[in-house]
């Protein structure tokens, strides 16, 4: 579970986005904000999926544990796997994260100026292979 | 003669970046809403309600609002006719007064339920909602004055209990 989360949160997605935004000519300040906001979206997506996988009666107890911790994702992952259906959680997590990434890429490609679109699309395709 | 200083370099406007950032903020907000459920403050009650509560309240509120709107002209007629009709035809005034009271209750209930829904979906500002609440209260008081009787005699025990339940609920929420 943690490995899957890390694969989304590690540098690859940030590097991918940075290169893409560079190719589109977005200024560094906006690049940083876009990546920060998008990383936040992925984190909230994960928290949402994991929280929903934990039975309601356990959530209060878990909430108290999270209140004094920094490593939310790790704690939630561990609890979700112990208390929920592991395969179902991984499936939901993958689906939700993919939806968010696809949404962003769709938006980037749509908004991309025509003269840069071919290059941007080629980069997206090379990355997804 | 001093040389003119070089103009400061202005950062280039990045419309595309800002547009994409706007999309990212929107995507983030929607994700938070999906993950944790959106809650909104309800004016006068000092409480938060979730979207499902609002949607449950909507059909109830619209039913009461529809009934209240149709009753308003009757209230006005009841008020206008008070002096003349009441002295000559007390039974007409009592009949109109009964309808007016029902209308008043309808408006009161619509305000009580409608305020929550309307504020929740943010189609009505707090100020407008406050006016509606105030208006409903006045109409209700006026309807009571016309008859000069207590609520239970005017509306019957069943309706009175319903109104009391709504009032108790709102007052309970206010005290939370």
CB neighbour list of residue A112: distance below 8 Å, 6 or more residues apart: A24, A120
pLDDT computed for residue A121 by the predictor: 85
A47-59 mean pLDDT: 70
The closest CB to that of A107, out of B18, B20, B28, belongs to B20
Residue B29 in this model has a pLDDT that exceeds 70: yes
From residue B38, give the alpha-carbon distance in Å to each of B34, B53, B96, B133, B174: 8, 11, 44, 25, 20
| Interface ipTM > 0.90 | no
The residue that leads in pLDDT, B111 or A84, is A84
CA distance A48 to B26: 17
Distance from CA of B16 to the nearest CA of A (A): 7
Which of B34-38, B52-56, B90-94, B156-160 reaches the highest mean pLDDT?
Answer: B34-38
Cβ of B18 within 8 Å of Cβ of A30? The answer is: yes
Residue B125 in this model has a pLDDT that exceeds 80: no
Range scoring the smallest mean pLDDT among A16-20, A63-67, A79-83, A125-129: A63-67
Is residue A1 a contact partner of residue A76, using CB atoms and an 8 Å limit?
no
Residue A116 in this model has a pLDDT that exceeds 80: yes
Residue B150 lies in a domain: yes
Q: Which helix (H) or strand (E) holds B174?
A: helix B151-175
A14-24 mean pLDDT: 87
Tell me which chain B residue has its CA closest to the CA of residue A96: B31
- A31 in B contact zone (CB under 8 Å): yes
Q: What is the mean pLDDT of chain A?
A: 75
Residue B136: pLDDT band (50, 70, 90) is low
| pTM of the shown model | 0.47
CA distance B53 to B66: 20
Look at residues B79, B74, B52, B68 and name the one whose alpha carbon lies nearest to residue B132.
B68
Cβ of A45 within 8 Å of Cβ of B35? The answer is: yes
pLDDT tens track for B67-121: 444 444 444 444 444 444 344 444 444 444 454 455 455 545 444 444 444 444 3
Residue A42: pLDDT band (50, 70, 90) is confident
Q: To the nearest 10°, the Cα dihedral for A48, A51, A57, A61?
A: -120
CA distance A97 to A83: 21
Residue ranges making up the domain that contains B130: 39-168
Checking phi first, is residue B11 left (phi over 0); if not, alpha (psi -120 to 50) or beta? Answer: beta
Cβ of A26 within 8 Å of Cβ of B20? The answer is: yes
Q: Hunting for tokens 């595309």 — which residue is that? A: B16
The percent of residues above 90 in pLDDT, for chain B, comes to 6
CA distance B46 to B175: 8
CA distance B66 to B117: 15
Counting the structural domains of chain A, the total is: 1
Distance from CA of B30 to the nearest CA of A (A): 9
Residue ranges making up the domain that contains A18: 2-128
Is residue A19 a contact partner of residue A98, using CB atoms and an 8 Å limit?
no
Which tokens sit at A16?
């991918």
Residue A48 in this model has a pLDDT that exceeds 70: yes
Q: Is A6 helix (H, G, I), strand (E, B) or coil?
A: helix
Residue B23 lies in a domain: no
pLDDT computed for residue A21 by the predictor: 93
pLDDT computed for residue B138 by the predictor: 61
Counting the structural domains of chain B, the total is: 1
CA distance B97 to B83: 12
pLDDT computed for residue B8 by the predictor: 59
Look at residues B118, B109, B92 and name the one whose alpha carbon lies nearest to residue B165.
B109
Residue B104 lies in a domain: yes
């Amino acid at each position: 579970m943690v490995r899957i989360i890390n694969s989304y949160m590690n540098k690859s997605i940030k590097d991918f986005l940075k290169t893409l935004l560079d190719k589109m000519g977005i200024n560094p300040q906006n690049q940083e904000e876009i990546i920060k906001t998008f990383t936040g979206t992925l984190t909230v997506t994960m928290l949402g999926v994991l929280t929903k996988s934990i039975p309601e009666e356990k959530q209060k107890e878990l909430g108290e544990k999270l209140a004094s911790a920094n490593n939310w994702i790790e704690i939630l992952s561990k609890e979700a796997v112990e208390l929920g259906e592991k395969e179902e959680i991984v499936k939901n997590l993958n689906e939700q994260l993919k939806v968010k990434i696809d949404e962003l890429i769709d938006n980037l490609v749509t908004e991309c100026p025509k003269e840069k679109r071919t290059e941007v699309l080629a980069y997206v395709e090379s990355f997804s292979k | 003669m001093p040389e003119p200083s070089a103009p400061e370099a202005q950062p280039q406007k990045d419309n595309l970046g800002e547009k994409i950032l706007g999309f990212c903020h929107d995507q983030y907000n929607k994700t938070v809403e999906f993950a944790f459920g959106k809650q909104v403050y309800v004016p006068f009650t000092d409480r938060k309600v979730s979207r499902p509560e609002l949607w449950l309240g909507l059909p109830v509120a619209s039913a009461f609002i529809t009934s209240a709107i149709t009753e308003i002209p009757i209230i006005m007629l009841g008020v206008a006719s008070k002096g003349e009709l009441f002295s000559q035809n007390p039974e007409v005034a009592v009949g109109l007064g009964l309808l007016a009271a029902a209308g008043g209750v309808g408006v009161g209930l619509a305000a009580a339920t409608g305020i929550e829904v309307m504020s929740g979906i943010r189609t009505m500002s707090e100020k407008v909602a406050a006016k509606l609440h105030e208006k409903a209260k006045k109409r209700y008081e006026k309807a009571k004055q016309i008859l000069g009787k207590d609520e239970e005699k005017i509306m019957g025990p069943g309706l009175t209990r319903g109104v009391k339940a709504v009032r108790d609920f709102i007052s309970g929420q206010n005290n939370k």
